[in-house]
């Protein structure tokens, strides 16, 4: 089940806009990214797509991602998230190999950026140190 962001309407509206409902999810073990990355000395590819939490999780795991991971693919869900992830990996010296920005339709009535998203984005990052 996705972790809920306290006080955020984006989480519930994302489900509502997608036509999904809570009964289509199941509970899974959640662990810190550092704990996961420590399970292997080398990761060829890590794919992160967790409905808006990508930048925070990548930030938390950046030292181990840089030490152990050759490629990271990040799914993005808003234009702001696109920029946050770009900034994070670029500042850390990673190389952006491919990007498909989030496509959105601006609405002056929108309450959250995520509500304006029409098609999720993706970024492919290569670690030049590995």
Q: How do residues 110-121 score in pLDDT, each as one tens digit?
A: 787 778 888 999
pLDDT tens profile 72-91 = 999 998 999 999 999 999 99
Mean pLDDT of 99-108: 90
pLDDT tens profile 22-72 = 667 778 888 899 999 999 999 999 999 988 899 999 999 999 999 999 999
CATH superfamily name and code, 32-126: Vaccinia Virus protein VP39 (3.40.50.150)
Write the CB contacts of 113 (distance below 8 Å, at least 6 apart in sequence). 10, 78, 79, 80, 104
State residue 7's pLDDT score: 42
Pull the structure tokens for residue 90. 């670029």
């Amino acid at each position: 089940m996705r972790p809920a962001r306290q006080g955020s309407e984006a989480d519930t509206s994302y489900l509502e806009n997608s036509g999904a409902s809570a009964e289509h999810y199941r509970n899974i073990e959640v662990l810190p990214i550092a704990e996961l990355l420590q399970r292997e000395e080398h990761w060829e590819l890590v794919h992160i797509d967790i409905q808006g939490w990508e930048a925070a999780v990548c930030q938390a795991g950046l030292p181990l991602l840089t030490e152990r991971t050759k490629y990271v693919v990040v799914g993005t869900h808003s234009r702001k998230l696109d920029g946050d992830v770009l900034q994070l990996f670029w500042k850390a010296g990673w190389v952006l190999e491919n990007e498909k920005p989030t496509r959105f339709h601006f609405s002056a009535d929108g309450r959250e950026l995520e509500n304006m998203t029409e098609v999720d984005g993706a970024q492919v990052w290569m670690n030049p140190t590995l």
